[in-house]
Each structure stands twice: as C-alpha cells, then as structure tokens.
C-alpha cells in the first residue's frame, strides 16, 4: 500500500500537534509540528505496547534502560539528570521497581552517604525482553520507509542536530 496516497485524510481534524498549523503557516513551523506529531504517535504506541505486553510504563522502561547501560549502577541524582525528571520521581519509580524485585540499592563505594541503584538479574531479564520488543515496534513504525529514505532522513536530522548544538554552544 502506498501510504502517501492512502485513504487517511490528513487534512481532517486530528488530535495532534500538526493540526495547529495551516497551509499558510511557515513551512518550518509545519515541519516542526509534523515531527512532533510523528513523535507523539510512535511514543504513544510504544507506551501502549509496553503496558500491554510487559505491564511497564515508559518511565520505568527509561529508568531500566539507564541502569542496563551502567552495570555497577547509578546514583539517584545521576538518574534524575539523565532522565530529566526530579529526584522525587526517581525515588518513587525506584521504590516501585525495588518492591517488584527489579532493582536494588547498594552502598556507593566512592561515598558512604550515597547509594547506587542497579538492576537485579530479574530486572535485567525483563528489561532486555521489553527492549527487544520495543526495538521491533520502532522498526515496524518506520517500515513504510525504504533504507535509502531512512539513511537520507537520518543524515538530514544529523545536520539539523549539529546546527542546533553549535548554536547553543556558541551562546555559552
């Protein structure tokens, strides 16, 4: 099926970011809103599937992903910074995951006052199954695009990312 010419009427009112723009709005704004709409669609589907298949919120998934990448564990403050949420949010999530046997708190050998949070074997097993499934779901979301189109888009967004990071660094 050619999705670009499908029966879905993209001009009809949808509950997404893109509907905020009109054809007379600046193309850059319309592009930004389309990117936001796509992000929201994929993100919402990932949330739904994680909940349905693994009884896991995206917040839990993100926290477990950080811990999976850091075998010795992370301090609560580090988790908070990496996930860009408050330490209170991290504490609540960690308490829940600890009660479920997926993470454990251990003493930080670098500081007597600090604790590290790390995955338990159970947590690692569950996270890796969820991560594998999530990767397949994301691939499914992009399956309409050819490998050439994906490479081209990746390079375009890389150019945009570099531009934005360079401008931000120049200000500091």
pLDDT band at 171; cut points 50, 70, 90: confident
| Closest of 100, 101, 56, 103 to residue 79, by C-alpha | 103
Please, what is the end-to-end C-alpha distance for the chain in angstroms?
Answer: 48
Contact indicator for 95, 76 with CB cutoff of 8 Å = no
- Has residue 5 got a pLDDT over 60? no
- Return d(Cα 59, Cα 45) in angstroms, integer: 14
| C-beta of residue 117 within 8 angstroms of C-beta of residue 105 | yes
Q: Where are the domains of the chain?
A: 18-141, 145-172
Classify the C-alpha dihedral 96-100-102-103 as positive or negative: positive
- CATH, domain range 18-141: 1.10.10.10
The string of DSSP codes covering 4-29 is GGSS--TTS--SSGGGG--TTS-HHH
- Give the pLDDT score at 117: 96
Weakest-pLDDT range from 7-16, 39-48, 152-161, 163-172: 7-16
Residues near 50 by Cβ (< 8 Å), separated by ≥ 6?
Answer: 56, 57, 58, 61, 130, 134
pLDDT at 17 over 50: yes
- pLDDT bin (cut points 50, 70, 90) of residue 83 is very high
- Give 84-131 pLDDT, tens digit per residue: 999 899 999 999 999 999 999 999 888 888 899 999 999 999 999 999
Residue 114, classed as helix, strand or coil, is strand
pLDDT at 11: 47
Name the DSSP class of 119.
Answer: E
User: What's the pLDDT score for residue 111?
Assistant: 84
- Average pLDDT (18-31) is 76
Measured CA distances, 53 to 81, 98, 117, 134 (Å) = 28, 20, 25, 10
Helix (H, G, I), strand (E, B) or coil at 105: strand
pLDDT at 172: 79
Kindly report whether the global pTM for this prediction surpasses the value 0.85.
no
Confidence (pLDDT) at 13: 44
């Amino acid at each position: 099926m050619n999705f670009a010419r499908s029966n879905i009427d993209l001009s009809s009112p949808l509950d997404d970011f893109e509907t905020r723009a009109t054809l007379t709005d600046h193309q850059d704004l319309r592009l930004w809103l389309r990117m936001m709409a796509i992000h929201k669609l994929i993100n919402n589907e990932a949330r739904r599937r994680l909940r349905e298949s693994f009884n896991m919120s995206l917040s839990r998934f993100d926290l477990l992903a950080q811990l999976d990448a850091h075998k010795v564990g992370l301090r609560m403050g580090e988790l908070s910074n990496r996930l860009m949420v408050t330490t209170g949010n991290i504490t609540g999530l960690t308490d829940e995951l600890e009660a479920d046997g997926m993470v454990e708190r251990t003493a930080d050998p670098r500081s007597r006052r600090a604790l590290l949070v790390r995955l338990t074997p159970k947590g690692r097993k569950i996270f890796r199954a969820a991560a594998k499934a999530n990767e397949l779901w994301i691939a499914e979301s992009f399956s309409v695009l050819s490998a050439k189109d994906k490479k081209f888009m990746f390079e375009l967004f890389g150019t945009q990312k570099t531009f934005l990071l360079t401008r931000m660094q120049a200000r500091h």
